[in-house]
Chain A
Amino acid sequence: MRVIAQTLQSLPQVLVDGVTLGAVYATVALGYTMVYGILELINFAHGEIFMSGAFIGTAILLVLNGAGWLAHLPKLLVLLLTMLVAMALTGLLGMGIERVAYRPLRNAPRLIPLISAIGVSFVLQDVVRFIAEWRTGNYIVTGVTLYGSEVNFGSVTVKSNALFVLGAAVVMMAGLDLFVRKTKWGTAMRAVAQDKDTAALMSINVNRVIALTFFMGSALGGATGVLFAQQYGTIDPYIGFILGLKAFTAAVLGGIGNIRGAMFGGFVIGILEMFASAELGPLTGGVLGAEYKDVFAFLILIAVLLFKPEGLFGQAVKEKV
């Protein structure tokens, strides 16, 4: 009984933290789901694009701070500009990766693009590691936090930065949803996702649409990376990998290729992970601890693939022969 009471008491805090983390997963999951929807390819490098965004943002802020400008500029403006720069750079990075490592393999057997995707993700990890380590002597980097203050609502503590994470995530997700449903490019995207050849016949430039998809997905990932670095302080070149896997799990949970599903999946995974890391110890009497939180994301992934491979909101697709 006491355990349950304890759990209930800490539940609000778990929910707040979980929703913040979930917003990160959801926006990263969008990148996976967009690329998968259009190319049926798991972009393994997406986690690394997110990580690059985090490093780009942190680097900009560190440089501004070092030059002494940070104190004189309005914080909000700095954050927005940093995010925009990071979005542009990571978007271009995503487009470049598509051009170099995926486009030549579009007609290759399924296994081959996956292998080059793993290669890209390794190269990015090491290049970022090299740059970070060269400049600072250590690849674990602690950034400048713009909104570090904490607000207390009763027993719940909220970092004011978390509000930015949530707000930005909601804006980006809503914007993407509108873009895909209402604009001409969005329509072209959906058409390419449905049938590349027919879309090409309808005078849609398929290559350009795919490049745009990569740009947008990667830009979302990069912006999330900036916010992630703000929220959690320290980053290293290997954060993208596991986080990317969890975001991918979120995309699968929501139904891969489905944008709204990915958002929902992200929040579910985020809340479950925070719950596991906070309550696993007390609930099991100390047998299992927070270190098993990563295991849960994978168990969810396996369970979803087993029982509902099309995800919660996806449509089951019959394989065409």
Chain B
Amino acid sequence: MKDRMPRLRAFLRDPRAQAVLLAAYTALSAAGLAFAGLSILWFLLLLVSLLLLYYSDLPRRVKWVWAGVVVAVLLPVCASNGSSYESFMEVATQMGIYVAMAVGLNVVVGFAGLLDLGFIAFFALGAYTYAIFFSDQANHVIAGHHFPLSGDLFWLCLPVGLFVAALFGVLLGLPVLRVKGDYLAIVTLGFGEIIRIIFNNLDKPVNITNGAIGISSVQAPRFFGISLSFPHQFYYLVLVLLAIVLYAVQRLEHSRVGRAWKAVREDEIAAQAMGVPLVRTKLVAFAVGASFSGLMGVVFAAKQAFIDPTSFTMLESITILVMVILGGMGSLPGVVVGACLVTLLNIQLMPELTNWLNTLTTAGVINFPSALSPAKMQRLIFGIILILFAVFRPQGMIPAKTRRYDDAVLSRLAAEWRETASGVRRDGGRPTAPGYTSGHAAGQEGAKEGASL
């Protein structure tokens, strides 16, 4: 046993072996999804394969392509075998929307350490941006019968919604970011409520949002003449946007501004002393987080074809916060997992459990009070998750990894650099740029995703 363990471990380290195992696992869970009942379970198992993929040692490009094939081809194809294909795609679409929002909030809360409790406001801004101009609502404000705009312009509205949300993020941030963390939480909470109250009452004096009744018959987006109305169509739309969002965040995390966010999170004063511009860094975090939310708001409005202020309550803001805390603040895979779990819990598990208990009650097996029905217990469950994770595991289910540099590689680089520098200095100049850049590039290579300290 003793001598076999290292060999097993070495085998598991080998990317090719990993690829084979992963392919087997993925195929198994996909087959399960396609042919067995209990589809949600298999669905989850298939998603777990993506997590395993993330932890594997395959090259990054292979990972992206692999993940793309799984979610874009394998998942829809396998699900289409069942009778509830569209409802399946609906759940997956919702999941994608929430993942994107959780990733956005993760930028604000996880990376920059700013507790934002009114995050849903940006989602609402995006949603109303689309809904007002792509239904006849805007005719109440702008004379002439120009609205609803054609669904072809949906693609133009995506960046507009993104920009509107980012703009409001900056507008909110400007006055607020000078105050400390816990005040910020209260003010953002207030901001979320203000936005909701305004949307709820902006049917007079000019009818902009149609008040509490909401805006109905919103135009469906059109893609080269095809009107998008089925959940599976939106699924692909969300998938593409989600890929863009995830790619952007991953690039941002290790960029200059991403490192500045983390510095501000760890110690504001020290970061400022090291030359990080506090307000600008925080504002960028706010704007980036808000923009993802606004983007998904546009998609949400287009998908629902109807929106009203009840979709944008404080409970929704906290739901997204729960996703971030559950998964792990600052950890991208963690937040994605957290968002998937909470969404499933919210829109699949609890309603089904409630239905089941209701059936039992009508059948007279048990007497279950409707007050206790799981569908109503979101607050309790979220509250318990927040308390338990805050007290026992504040780093979340999948803690964030900090990128660490390999000491050996760094010292080798430093020696190389010193050599070049002294060589250059003998010529009477500063260390040349080529030596520096090559060192920098090698440093990137030597950067390793190590376990956090």
Contact = CB atoms under 8 A, between A and B. Distances in A.
Most buried by A among B176, B204, B369, B390: B390
A298 B172 CA distance: 13
B394 A108 contact: yes
Interface in B176-208: 176, 178-179, 181-183, 185-187, 189-191, 193-194, 197-198, 200-201, 204-205
B384 A111 contact: no
Contact of A301 (B187, B198, B321, B377): B187
A212 interface: no
B405 to A, nearest CB: 24
B134 to A, nearest CB: 27
Contact of A116 (B109, B183, B378, B391): B391
Interface stretch (A84-92, A161-169, A193-201, A286-294): A286-294
B288 interface: no
B115 interface: yes
Nearest to A125: B379
B371 interface: yes
B45 interface: no
B197 A111 contact: no
B408 interface: no
Contacts of B318: 118, 122
Given A123-B379, A126-B383, A133-B371, A245 B205 contact: no
B433 interface: no
Given A134-B372, A245-B190, A291-B201, A119 B182 contact: no
A123 B390 contact: no
Contacts of A321: 269
Interface string B287-324: 00000000000000000000000000010001001000
If over half of B's interface residues share one DSSP class (helix, strand or loop), that class is named, otherwise mixed; here it is helix
Interface in A129-161: 129-130, 133-134, 137, 139
Contacts of B391: 100-101, 104-105, 116
A119 B387 contact: yes
A119 B385 contact: yes
Interface string B372-398: 100011111011111101110010000
Contacts of B176: 302, 305
A248 B189 CA distance: 12
A309 interface: yes
B419 to A, nearest CB: 39
B386 A119 contact: yes
B175 interface: yes
Contact of A122 (B183, B200, B379): B379
A241 to B, nearest CB: 8
A111 B113 CA distance: 8
Contacts of B189: 245
Most buried by B among A42, A105, A125, A126: A126
B193 A298 contact: yes
The interface size bin for chain A is 35 or more
A306 B390 contact: no
Most buried by B among A119, A130, A289, A302: A119
B269 A306 contact: no
A292 B199 CA distance: 11
Nearest to B273: A321
Contact of B386 (A116, A297, A301, A306): A116
Interface in B92-112: 109
B325 interface: yes
B371 A110 contact: no
A304 to B, nearest CB: 10
B115 A130 contact: no
Contacts of A129: 371, 376, 379
B185 A42 contact: yes
B181 A111 contact: yes
Most buried by A among B185, B314, B378, B385: B185
Given A101-B387, A116-B386, A120-B383, 16 more contacts: A115-B394, A118-B321, A122-B383, A123-B379, A126-B379, A126-B383, A129-B379, A133-B371, A134-B372, A137-B371, A139-B371, A287-B205, A302-B175, A302-B190, A309-B178, A319-B269
13 contacts: A104-B391, A112-B390, A114-B182, A118-B386, A119-B384, A130-B377, A139-B371, A245-B190, A294-B194, A295-B197, A301-B186, A305-B178, A321-B269
User: When A and B form their complex, which 5 residue pairs have the shortest distance between CB atoms, in order from nearest?
Assistant: A119-B386, A122-B383, A123-B383, A133-B371, A298-B190
